[in-house]
Amino acid sequence: MNASTRIGIGYDIHRLIEGRKLILGGVEIPFEKGLLGHSDSDVLTHAICDALLGAVALGDIGSHFPDTDPRWTGASSLEFLARVVELVSERGYRVANIDAIVVAEQPKLMPFVQSIREKLASVLQLDVDQVSIKAKTNEGLESVGKGEAIAAQAVVLLISSSG
Ligand code: MG
């Protein structure tokens, strides 16, 4: 693995249900529903983890943190992110920048975007201007637009630590 740069893409979607906290990018968002899943179901952090793993061709989040492992029940996805960044670093790369999109019909996420960027940047040991988060709706279309799920997409660029 000796390219000077590598790129990765990540996507995730989780079902919205009652009785769960809504965690996005490690930040708890006040809302009547949360995301269903084994960990805290932080769909944004999962997409970023998958983009980072993809950039170094190390599989995906499910292969590293399987939902059959009781260690990860209710786990903070920021733990996954911290471990994934270690794996990237062990492969000789550091993050140049991350760009991500959260697609949610509700709640409005704009008021939380800056806190999310700061939280993710702190875990990734990056400056906030290396982490871009954009919030979109799905214009009422399909499961995300009907408020049944939240989806996220992310791309990352890695730079060789030696170059
Ligand atoms: Mg997920």
Specify the pTM.
0.97
User: Which residues lie at CB < 5 A from ion ligand 1?
Assistant: 12, 46
Q: How confident is the model at residue 2 (pLDDT cuts 50, 70, 90)?
A: confident
How far is the C-alpha of 51 from the C-alpha of 62, rounded, in Å?
13
Spatial neighbors of 68 by CB under 8 A, at least 6 apart, are: none
Q: Which CATH number does the domain housing residue 14 bear? A: 3.30.1330.50
14 Cα: distance to centroid of ligand 1 (angstroms)? 6
Find the helix or strand (DSSP H, E) in which 53 lies.
helix 43-55
163 Cα: distance to centroid of ligand 1 (angstroms)? 33
Nearest to 88 by CA among 157, 10, 12: 157
117 Cα: distance to centroid of ligand 1 (angstroms)? 19
Q: What's the confidence (pLDDT) of residue 163?
A: 62
* pLDDT tens by residue, 104-163: 999 999 999 999 999 999 999 999 999 999 999 999 999 999 999 999 999 999 999 986
146 Cα: distance to centroid of ligand 1 (angstroms)? 19
Question: CA 81 → CA 25, 47, 146, distances in Å?
Answer: 10, 10, 29
78 Cα: distance to centroid of ligand 1 (angstroms)? 12
83-102: average pLDDT: 97
The total number of structural domains in the chain stands at: 1
- Domain that residue 122 falls in: 5-160
161 Cα: distance to centroid of ligand 1 (angstroms)? 29
Instruction: Yes or no: say if 11 and 61 are a contact pair by the CB < 8 Å rule.
Output: no
